[in-house]
Amino acid sequence: MNTSAPKTFFSLGFAIALWLAAPTLHALPFADTVVSFIPGDSGSGVEDTSDGAYTGLVGEGEFDARAVTALDGAVFGLGSTAETSGSITLRFSDGEVVDGPGADLRLYDTFSFRDGVNVEISADGTHFMNAFLSAGDLSYFRCSLQQPCTADVDITDLQLDGFSYLKITTAGTIALGFPGAYTLDAVEALHYRPNTVPEPGTLALFGLAALGLAFVRRRND
């Protein structure tokens, strides 16, 4: 009995299943959930620099979670630091950032100059630890969607297995000549571990591969 055709069918089906599942397993996600937001003294709100790609709220005092959950040129200003520093807490809802070679997390600022920012991270959303601090650079005035200003965070020295929450706080000091607010476009995980429960589409693909294997074995018997 010639079993080459079923075997070829199974091999091809299994390869297609792996190929289709790969983007789901290895895509680098952005923080997608806003847990909380505390505006600074002034200047908080959405600033749209995306040339029409963004359709949310725009203007000082306006808040829209979509402005900070996608790299789309729509930034959200946390507000100045005269007395109260603006801060926002974000979460990766379907996995966690983990330690890997080099930087593990990247913040994108695509508006005007390099802003001052402080980043804290947490595994449970309650206990946070400092991970990054930058006072900003008012002389660097080239942040844009085409050439974003980025802040990279490496958690190697923190001895933390992984985290899903991060708190971003304005850290610039106007008195020292640094920007007094922080504008955030998106936060990307550079090393990421998704939750262990596969998506339904992935399960279906591997189910088809298993059926193909069962078919081959039955033909061989």
Mean pLDDT of 67-94: 90
Helix (H, G, I), strand (E, B) or coil at 149: strand
Q: Read off the DSSP letter of residue 60.
A: E
pLDDT of residue 3: 53
Percent of the chain with pLDDT over 90: 43
Lowest mean pLDDT among 112-116, 175-179, 186-190: 175-179
Measured distance CA(212)–CA(8) in Å, rounded: 10
C-alpha 98/C-alpha 85 separation (Å) is 28
- Cα–Cα distances in angstroms (integers) from residue 78 to residues 14, 29, 126, 186, 193, in the given order: 48, 22, 21, 13, 28
Average pLDDT over residues 139-148: 83
> For residue 208, is pLDDT > 80?
no
Q: Is the pLDDT of residue 51 over 80?
A: no
Taking all residues of the chain, what is their mean pLDDT, rounded to a whole number? 80
36 phi, psi to nearest 5 deg = -160, 160
Where does the pLDDT of residue 26 fall: very low under 50, low under 70, confident under 90, or very high at 90 and above? very low
H helix runs in the chain, sequence order: 4-26, 200-220
Q: Name which of 4-18, 34-48, 81-95, 112-126 the model is least confident about.
A: 4-18
Q: Which of 123, 131, 120 is nearest to 97 (CA)?
A: 123
Dihedral over Cα of 175, 46, 166, 193: its sign: negative
Instruction: Specify the CATH number of the domain 29-189.
Output: 2.60.120.260
Tally the C-alpha atoms within 13 A of residue 88's C-alpha that lie toward its C-beta. Answer: 29
